C-alpha cells in the first residue's frame, strides 16, 4: 500500500506543471488520482477476507517499518479521503480559475491527501506519527495560503503550534506505548491490552496520546484554532478542517480504543471532553453569522460528539458499546458527507454573491438551482430528516447515549448540543435559497449566477450520495460492521435499515428537531441572551494560548537580556562564577567537612624562600590592580612573571626560567610601546563592583590553588613519557637539550600548530591594518 500513498505525493509534484499547461482541466485530471487510489484500495479490500497488510523496512535498526494495513476503519477513512478529495480537487480547480496559484493549491491538497491516507493506513506507530505531522505541515501551508494577509499567517501559526504541540505529546505517547506494549505494530497493540493496563506507564500514555488527539480534533480547550483556520480558502476548509484532517484525532482515538480503552481515565476523558466540546461549540455557533464560522463551530461540536461516542464504545462493554461503535461510524460518515457539501455550498454562495453573512443571503434558489439542490439535501441531512444519511447518524448517536444511561452526561450533552446544530444546517443549507426577496450582491454588479460546473458537480454528487445511502443504508452493512468491530475491538454485526420502528430515540429526535426550529424562530431573543455569554469568551482558552505565547516570549526576552547583556565584563563574571560553582561543588562534595583543610595541612610544607616569592607575587598583583597608570601596571605584571620564573629556578628548571624571563621582558616592552598612545585609566567601577570582583577573584584563585595542591599529592609516579624523552633524546633525537628535542622532534606537531598560530596572527594584523586604511581611503 506504500504505492498508493506515494502516488499522491508523486502526483503533487506534477500538479503545478500540469496546471500551467492545462489550467482548466488540471482539477478534473488530478481528481483521477484519488479515484484511482480508491479503486486500488477497494480492489485490495474486497479481494481478501483478512485485512491486507504490507510492510517495508524503513529503519530496521530501530524496528521502524512502513507498514500499512487496510481494515474496515482504515477503508472507511480512505473512502472519505479519496472520495471527498476528488470532489475537492475538481472544486478547487474551478474555484481558483484564473488564479496563478492554482497549481500550488492543487499540489498542496494532493500532498495533504497522501499524508492523510498515510495516517489512516499506517500500521506502525512511528509511520502514523510521520504522516500525522505531515498533515499538520500541509495544513499550515494551506491555512496560510493567502499569506499576504496577516490574519492568515496568524491563523496558520496558531493551528501549527496547537496541533504541533499535541504532536510532540503524541510522539512521547507512542514511544511509551510501544515501550509498554513491546510492539510498534498498531494491529498488535490490542492483543497487548492487558500488558498495557498493567504497566505503570498507562496513565502517561493515555494523557499524551489524548493530548495529540484532542489538539488535532479541536476539542475544548484546544478548539479555538479551528474557527480561525477558516482563513483558508473554502476548498481547504471543506477538506481539511471538516471532512478529514480534524477527524484524525477521532481516528486515532478509535484506533487505539481496543488497546487503551477499558481504562476509566480513557473512557471518562473521551466522554467528558467530547461532551464539553459538543455543548460549548454548539452554544457558540448560535452567535455566529458568517457562513464558514457557523460551519466551523458546528464541526467542532460534531467532533466532540464523535470523541464522546468513541468513549462510549468501551472494548469490553455490552450492547450499548456496540451501538456506540456503530454510531461512531455512521455519524462520522454522515457528517463528512453533509459538512463537506455545506462548506462547498457556502463557498459557492460567497463566490456568486460576494457575501459571507448568512443574514444577508436570501432567495437564491432560482439563481443557483443546482447549488440549491446540494444545499437543501445536505442541510436537511444535518438537521436529521429521515431518508437522509444524517438521520441515521444522529439516531444512532442518540441511541448509543440512551442505551448507556438515559440521564447520563452523554445524553445530556447530545440533547443540549443537537438543536443548535439543526439551526446551522437550516441557516447554511436551506435559508439562503428560500424567501421571496432577491439577494443583494456585494459589489452591486448584477445578479447572482449559478457557479461554474466544477463548483456544483461535486457538492451535488456528495449530497446525492447522502440521499442514496440514507434510503438504502443496507449498502453500508459490511463497512459499518467491520469498522465498528475495529473501534470496539470485537466483532460487530450491523443490519442497517431506513426505519427502526417507533421508540424513545425517535421521540427524542423529533424533540431535538423541534427544539432546533424553535431556536431558529426565536433567534432574535436567543441572540440577546447569548450576547452576555459571549463576553466570557474573552477569558477563554484562546486567551490562554495568547498568554502562554506572550508569556514565553516575555520570559525569553528577560532571560536573554540577563544572559546576553552585551557587556564583556559581565560575561567574564558569569564564566568565572559558573566555574567556581561547578568545580567548588565537586570539590566540596568529594570531601567530608574539614577534610580539605586537613589534607592541605598535610601537603603544604612552608619554606622561607617560598614565602618570600609568594609575598612578592601578591604585592605585585595588588599593585597591578591599584595602579592608575598603564605602564606601572604592566611593569607590576612583569614582576609577577619574574617571581614565577624564580619559582622555576628554585625547582631546578633553569631553561624554563630563562624562557619565562625573556617572555616577560619582551611582553613588558611591547606593552609599553603600544600603550604610550593610550590615556590614563579612568576608574569607572563602584566600590561594590570592586568588592564583588575581589570576592570572585579570591574564590577563583583559592579554588585553583587548592585543586593544584591536592592534585600535586596524587601522582602515579610512572612518568613513562618523561623517562622516554630523557632516554631517547640523544640516541634517537640526536640532541642534548631534551626540551629542544621535544619541541622540534618528539612533539613537532604541537610546534607546527603553534607556528601556524603565529603566522595567522601576523596575517590578521596585516589584514586589519591594510583593510582599515583601505576603508578610510575609500571614504
Partner 1 sequence: MNLLAVPILLPLVFASVMLATRWPRVQRLLSVAGALGLFLVNLAILWQVDRVGVATLQVGGWPAPAGITLVADRLSAVMLVMTGAMGLGIAVYSLGEIRRRKQRFGYHTLLHVLLMGVCGAFLTGDLFNLFVWYEVMLIASFVLLTLGGRRGQLEGAIKYVTINLVASAFFLAALGVLYGMTGTLNMADLAHAVDRIDRPELLTVLAMMFLVAFGLKAGVFPLFFWLPASYHTPPTAITAIFSALLTKVGVYSMIRMFTLVFVQNVGWTHGLLLAIAGLTMVSGVLGAAVQSDMRRILSFHIVSQIGYLLMGLGLAGPAVAALHVPGRTLNDRAAMAVAALGLGGTVFFMVHVILAKTALFLVCGVVERLRRSASLDRVGGLATTHPVLAGLFLVAALSLAGIPPLAGFWAKFMLVRAGLEGAAWVVTTAALGTGLLTLYSMTKIWAEAFWKPLPAGELQRRDRVMTRGTRLLMYGPTFAIVGAIVAIGLWPASLEAFATRTAAQLVDPSEYVAAVSNHAIFSRSDRERAAMPADSGTSGEAPR
Binding positions for partner 1, 38-77, rule CB under 8 A: 57-62
Grid cell locating 349: 454562495
Answer for which of 530, 552, 689, 737 binds partner 1 (CB under 8 A) is 552
Scan residues 118-147 and list those touching partner 1 (CB under 8 A): 126, 129-130, 133-134, 137, 140, 144, 147
Q: Are 646 and 620 in contact (CB under 8 A)?
A: no
The answer to the question of residue 705 lying near partner 1 (CB under 8 A) is no
What is the closest distance, in whole angstroms, from the C-beta atom of residue 706 to partner 1 in the complex? 9
CB count in 10 Å sphere of residue 620: 18
- Cite the beta strand spans of 248-380 per DSSP E: none
Separation of alpha carbons 574 and 604, rounded Å: 31
Q: Are 400 and 323 in contact (CB under 8 A)?
A: yes
Grid cell locating 517: 426550529
Would you give the distance in Å from CA 317 to the centre of its chain? 34
What is the closest distance, in whole angstroms, from the C-beta atom of residue 92 to partner 1 in the complex? 19
* Binding flags for partner 1, 505-544, as an x/- string (CB under 8 A): ----------------------------------------
CB count in 10 Å sphere of residue 672: 14
Residue 576: strand, helix, or coil: helix
φ, ψ of residue 67 in degrees (nearest 5): -100, 135
Separation of alpha carbons 165 and 131, rounded Å: 15
The answer to the question of residue 96 lying near partner 1 (CB under 8 A) is no
Stretch that binds partner 1, among 459-467, 507-515, 609-617, 758-766 (CB under 8 A): 758-766
What is the closest distance, in whole angstroms, from the C-beta atom of residue 538 to partner 1 in the complex? 24
Separation of alpha carbons 262 and 317, rounded Å: 8
The answer to the question of residue 770 lying near partner 1 (CB under 8 A) is yes
Nearest residue (CB) to partner 1, 151 versus 289? 151
What is the closest distance, in whole angstroms, from the C-beta atom of residue 590 to partner 1 in the complex? 3
Nearest residue (CB) to partner 1, 452 versus 700? 700
Grid cell locating 434: 428560500
The answer to the question of residue 644 lying near partner 1 (CB under 8 A) is no
Scan residues 556-575 and list those touching partner 1 (CB under 8 A): 556-557, 559-560, 563-566, 568, 571-572, 574-575
Grid cell locating 663: 617572555
Would you give the distance in Å from CA 270 to the centre of its chain? 22
Answer for which of 10, 472, 663, 711 binds partner 1 (CB under 8 A) is 711
The answer to the question of residue 547 lying near partner 1 (CB under 8 A) is no
The answer to the question of residue 164 lying near partner 1 (CB under 8 A) is yes
Separation of alpha carbons 306 and 242, rounded Å: 13
The answer to the question of residue 578 lying near partner 1 (CB under 8 A) is yes
Nearest residue (CB) to partner 1, 211 versus 469? 211
What is the closest distance, in whole angstroms, from the C-beta atom of residue 303 to partner 1 in the complex? 23
What is the closest distance, in whole angstroms, from the C-beta atom of residue 772 to partner 1 in the complex? 5
Separation of alpha carbons 479 and 474, rounded Å: 10
Q: Which of 111, 4, 115, 110 is nearest to 54 (CA)?
A: 4
Answer for which of 283, 523, 728, 739 binds partner 1 (CB under 8 A) is 728
Grid cell locating 678: 593610550
Dihedral (CA of 746, 747, 748, 749) sign: positive
What is the closest distance, in whole angstroms, from the C-beta atom of residue 161 to partner 1 in the complex? 6
Nearest residue (CB) to partner 1, 531 versus 557? 557
Nearest residue (CB) to partner 1, 174 versus 342? 174
The answer to the question of residue 165 lying near partner 1 (CB under 8 A) is yes
The answer to the question of residue 720 lying near partner 1 (CB under 8 A) is yes
- Residues in binding contact with partner 1, number by CB under 8 A: 98
Residue 55: strand, helix, or coil: strand
Q: Are 27 and 91 in contact (CB under 8 A)?
A: yes
Amino acid at each position: 500500500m506504500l504505492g498508493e500513498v506515494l502516488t499522491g505525493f508523486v502526483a503533487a509534484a506534477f500538479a503545478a506543471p500540469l496546471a500551467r499547461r492545462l489550467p482548466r482541466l488540471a482539477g478534473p485530471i488530478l481528481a483521477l488520482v484519488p479515484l484511482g487510489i480508491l479503486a486500488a484500495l477497494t480492489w485490495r479490500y474486497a479481494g481478501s477476507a483478512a485485512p491486507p497488510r504490507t510492510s517495508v523496512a524503513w529503519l530496521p535498526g530501530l524496528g521502524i517499518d512502513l507498514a500499512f494495513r487496510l481494515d474496515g476503519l482504515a477503508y472507511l477513512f480512505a473512502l472519505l479521503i479519496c472520495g471527498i478529495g476528488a470532489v475537492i480537487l475538481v472544486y478547487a480547480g474551478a474555484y481558483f480559475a484564473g488564479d496563478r496559484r492554482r497549481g500550488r493549491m492543487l499540489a498542496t491538497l494532493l500532498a495533504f491527501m497522501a499524508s492523510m491516507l498515510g495516517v489512516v493506513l499506517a500500521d506502525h506507530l512511528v509511520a502514523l506519527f510521520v504522516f500525522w505531522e505531515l498533515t499538520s505541515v500541509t495544513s499550515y501551508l494551506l491555512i496560510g495560503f493567502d499569506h499576504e494577509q496577516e490574519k492568515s499567517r496568524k491563523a496558520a501559526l496558531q493551528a501549527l503550534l496547537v496541533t504541533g504541540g499535541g504532536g510532540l505529546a503524541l510522539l512521547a505517547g507512542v514511544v511509551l506505548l510501544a515501550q509498554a506494549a513491546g510492539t510498534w505494530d498498531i494491529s498488535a497493540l490490542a492483543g497487548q491490552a492487558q500488558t498495557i493496563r498493567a504497566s505503570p506507564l498507562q496513565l502517561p500514555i493515555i494523557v499524551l496520546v489524548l493530548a495529540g488527539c484532542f489538539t488535532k480534533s479541536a476539542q475544548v480547550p484546544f478548539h479555538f484554532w479551528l474557527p480561525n483556520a477558516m482563513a483558508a480558502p473554502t476548498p481547504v476548509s471543506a477538506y481539511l478542517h471538516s471532512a478529514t484532517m480534524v477527524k484524525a484525532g477521532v481516528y486515532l482515538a478509535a484506533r487505539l480504543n481496543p488497546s487503551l480503552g477499558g481504562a476509566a481515565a480513557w473512557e471518562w476523558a473521551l466522554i467528558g471532553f467530547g461532551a464539553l466540546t459538543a455543548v460549548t461549540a454548539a452554544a457558540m455557533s448560535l452567535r455566529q453569522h458568517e457562513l464558514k464560522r457557523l460551519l466551523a463551530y458546528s464541526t467542532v461540536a460534531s467532533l466532540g460528539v464523535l470523541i464522546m461516542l468513541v468513549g462510549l464504545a468501551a472494548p469490553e462493554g455490552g450492547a450499548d458499546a456496540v451501538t456506540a461503535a456503530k454510531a461512531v461510524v455512521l455519524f462520522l460518515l454522515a457528517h463528512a458527507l453533509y459538512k463537506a457539501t455545506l462548506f462547498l455550498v457556502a463557498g459557492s454562495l460567497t463566490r456568486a454573491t460576494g457575501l459571507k453573512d448568512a443574514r444577508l443571503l436570501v432567495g437564491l434558489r432560482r439563481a443557483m438551482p443546482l447549488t440549491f439542490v446540494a444545499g437543501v439535501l445536505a442541510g436537511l441531512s444535518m438537521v436529521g430528516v429521515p431518508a437522509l444519511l444524517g438521520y441515521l447518524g444522529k439516531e444512532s448517536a442518540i441511541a448509543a447515549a440512551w442505551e448507556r444511561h438515559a440521564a447520563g452526561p452523554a445524553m445530556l450533552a447530545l440533547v443540549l448540543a443537537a438543536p443548535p446544530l439543526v439551526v446551522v444546517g437550516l441557516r447554511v443549507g436551506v435559508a439562503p435559497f428560500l424567501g421571496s426577496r432577491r439577494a443583494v450582491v456585494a459589489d452591486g454588479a448584477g445578479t447572482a449566477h449559478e457557479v461554474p460546473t466544477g463548483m456544483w458537480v461535486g457538492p451535488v454528487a456528495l449530497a446525492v450520495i447522502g440521499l442514496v445511502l440514507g434510503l438504502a443504508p443496507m449498502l453500508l452493512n459490511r463497512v459499518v460492521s467491520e469498522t465498528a468491530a475495529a473501534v470496539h475491538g470485537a466483532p460487530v454485526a450491523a443490519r442497517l435499515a431506513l426505519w427502526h420502528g417507533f421508540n424513545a430515540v425517535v421521540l427524542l429526535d423529533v424533540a431535538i428537531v423541534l427544539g432546533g426550529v424553535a431556536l431558529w424562530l426565536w433567534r432574535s431573543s436567543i441572540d440577546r441572551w447569548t450576547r452576555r455569554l459571549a463576553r466570557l469568551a474573552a477569558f477563554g482558552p484562546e486567551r490562554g494560548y495568547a498568554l502562554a505565547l506572550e508569556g514565553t516570549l516575555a520570559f525569553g526576552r528577560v532571560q536573554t537580556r540577563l544572559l546576553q547583556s552585551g557587556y564583556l565584563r559581565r560575561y567574564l563574571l558569569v564564566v568565572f562564577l559558573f566555574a567556581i560553582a561547578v568545580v567548588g561543588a565537586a570539590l566540596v562534595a568529594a570531601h567530608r567537612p574539614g577534610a580539605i583543610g586537613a589534607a592541605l595541612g598535610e601537603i603544604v610544607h612552608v619554606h622561607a624562600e617560598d614565602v618570600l616569592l609568594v609575598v612578592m607575587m601578591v604585592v605585585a598583583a595588588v599593585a597591578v590592580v591599584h595602579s592608575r597608570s598603564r605602564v606601572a601596571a604592566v611593569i607590576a605584571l612583569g614582576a609577577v612573571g619574574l617571581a614565577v620564573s624564580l619559582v622555576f629556578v628554585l625547582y631546578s628548571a633553569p631553561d624554563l626560567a630563562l624562557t619565562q624571563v625573556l617572555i616577560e621582558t619582551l611582553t613588558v616592552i611591547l606593552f609599553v610601546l603600544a600603550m604610550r598612545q593610550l590615556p590614563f585609566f579612568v576608574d569607572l567601577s563602584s566600590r561594590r563592583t570592586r568588592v564583588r570582583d575581589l570576592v570572585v577573584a579570591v574564590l577563583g584563585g583559592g579554588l585553583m590553588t587548592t585543586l593544584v595542591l591536592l592534585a600535586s599529592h596524587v601522582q602515579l609516579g610512572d612518568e613513562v613519557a618523561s623517562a622516554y624523552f630523557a632516554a631517547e633524546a640523544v640516541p634517537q633525537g640526536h640532541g642534548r637539550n631534551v626540551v629542544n628535542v621535544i619541541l622540534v622532534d618528539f612533539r613537532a606537531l604541537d610546534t607546527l600548530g603553534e607556528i601556524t598560530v603565529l603566522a595567522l596572527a601576523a596575517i590578521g594584523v596585516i589584514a586589519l591594518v591594510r583593510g582599515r586604511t583601505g576603508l578610510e581611503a575609500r571614504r
